[in-house]
Amino acid sequence: MKLVLTAALLAAALPAAAADLRFAATSDPNTLDPNAGNSAPVFSLLGNVYEGLVRRDREMTIEPALAEAWEPLEDGDGWRFRLRQGVKFHGGQDFTAEDVIFSYERASSEQSDTSSWFAGVTSVEAIDDYTVEIRTEAPNPIFVDGIANWMMMDSGWAAENGAERPNIEQGNFATLNTNGTGPYMVTERQPGLKTVLTAFDGWWGEDRGNVTTATFTPVQNSATAVAALLSGELDLIEPVPVQDAERVDATDGVNVIRGIEARVIMLGFPHDKDTLLTGGENPFKDVRVREAVAHAINVPAILQTVMRGSAEPTGQLVSATTRGYTSGIEQRAYDPDRARELLAEAGYPDGFAFSFKCTNDRYLNDEAVCTAINAMLAQVGLKPAFETVPVANYWPALRADEHDMYLLGWSPGTFDAEHPIRFLVSTPNEEKLLGSWNFGGYSSPRIDQLLPGIQSEIDEEARQIMLDEVANIVADDVAYVPLYIQPLIWGVRDGAEVIQRPDNFLNIRWINLPE
């Protein structure tokens, strides 16, 4: 490992020679249109091609990108952005305020998958060529955090090619072609097979490594990807299967880089149902039963065995790197005796039967984790009817309320603690887009009351007090049982310098490859 570090340092210190990067990931972005797909694979790839007004740095902090500076409007209801001058799109067009207006209209349109980012926005106006004012209904402290993936497109290019609006169902020119301002241009695109990115010489920024061409191949089978890394046909793969990580790391010529994703894996409960799927009344309405479940699960043991020590336990819905994280809330300790006591207190000394649903192709080793949980629940006398489902069937089943206890992973898109409150904890309300992933129907009037304040309080301290209160209510109520934070395990060629961020995006411009 030490050798590797030195190699990486050397690579960083020397003027790096141009290098070709060959990398693989499990899934191919289903589109190159930044408004037609709101998913990590899409933004991870497009983040190299398109840019937003703001972007995230190596530590996930928001920093200027196409906007040089921004400030709240005088009345507080919105933000003023000063745009960077002299920025060119790959096609040679100038980037101006007009493009920001166009990109807003496109990204917030009915046909777009990103419209919810702009839910509270009332107007976007160009004051001059390089100043834009975005007005919101109320002050919005995390608006800027929420638009890091809002990518700027050239209005002229879109109009010429008939791609003024995204088209999710039919596709259009922007599905296969790009014209961003970012450090890389897409020079070849074969959906599902191969995507080639080439460095854009006219990029305004400076912070970039030595990769001049990057070839991306989606490889579904992780054993194939590992073999290709070991044989030297690939320079970077993600993910390396948890069970292979040690072996890969021990192999000459390759290295494993580990990190923590922002995704928290948790168990959810049926809060608002009167009867369970297995029949009978719903004991999960009793907080003692939910607490018993939390005490029954030995998370450290699961991480040690199933995850081979590469994940971190958590007691909250967000990881410590997330903005607005509440310190001091720990995971409930593994204590099967306490679990049995609590069950007896709640009136279920002999446990009860319920359905326990899990995915088997969504999260790292999800099926194995759930199998372990299933056994641990049985040890305290509970009788889960355990079932694993492919993710394509999983969400429809949960939405149709065909679940009792279930597994859920959540990565906050805004990297702010408000995100899971809005989606997982708020009382479901379709119109306001609240609680849209709160399948169990958890409801706390106090949290519903606090959320608008959290969404509009500009003062960091006052806002944190509200976030802390919500985090404590969620933990005390055992609304969910947070288990662990999913690890990131990438495999790279020896000497490659790669930055791994908790959003699992691959920023090619930060990569330095050895000769």
Cβ at position 178, least distance to another protein in Å: 14
Give phi and psi for 245, each to the nearest 5. Answer: -55, -45
Which one of residues 219, 237, 264, 479 is an interface residue with another protein (CB under 8 A)? 219
The reply to whether 319 sits near another protein by the rule CB under 8 A is no
The reply to whether 433 sits near another protein by the rule CB under 8 A is yes
Q: With respect to another protein, which residue has the nearer C-beta, 70 or 117?
A: 117
Q: Is the dihedral of CA 363, 368, 373, 378 positive or negative?
A: positive
Q: With respect to another protein, which residue has the nearer C-beta, 126 or 433?
A: 433
Binding mask 382-411 for another protein (x = CB under 8 A): --------xxxx-xx---------------
CA dist 131 and 109 (Å) reads 22
Cβ at position 137, least distance to another protein in Å: 16
Any idea what DSSP says for residue 360? S
Cβ at position 429, least distance to another protein in Å: 10
Cβ at position 217, least distance to another protein in Å: 7
Strands (E), 380-508: 383-389, 405-410, 480-493
Give phi and psi for 191, each to the nearest 5. Answer: -50, 130
Cβ at position 504, least distance to another protein in Å: 14
Footprint of another protein on 21-50 (CB under 8 A) = 28, 30-31, 36-39
Which of 112, 191, 194 has its CA nearest to residue 153?
112
CA dist 320 and 469 (Å) reads 16
For another protein (CB under 8 A), the number of binding residues is 53
Cβ at position 188, least distance to another protein in Å: 12
Is it true that the peptide bond before 420 is cis, omega within 30 degrees of 0?
A: no
CA dist 258 and 311 (Å) reads 9
Which one of residues 71, 75, 86, 170 is an interface residue with another protein (CB under 8 A)? 170
The SS3 assignment for 301 reads helix
Angle subtended by helix axes 336-345 and 287-296, to nearest 10 = 160
The reply to whether 223 sits near another protein by the rule CB under 8 A is yes
The reply to whether 220 sits near another protein by the rule CB under 8 A is yes
Q: With respect to another protein, which residue has the nearer C-beta, 26 or 464?
A: 26
CA dist 511 and 424 (Å) reads 35
The reply to whether 473 sits near another protein by the rule CB under 8 A is no
Element (H, E) at 302: helix 299-305
The reply to whether 227 sits near another protein by the rule CB under 8 A is yes
- Interstrand relation of 353-359 and 405-410 (parallel, antiparallel or unpaired): parallel
- The footprint of another protein (CB under 8 A) covers 28, 30-31, 36-39, 110-111, 113-117, 167-172, 175-176, 190-193, 217, 219-221, 223-225, 227-228, 230-233, 361, 390-393, 395-396, 413, 423, 430-431, 433, 436-437
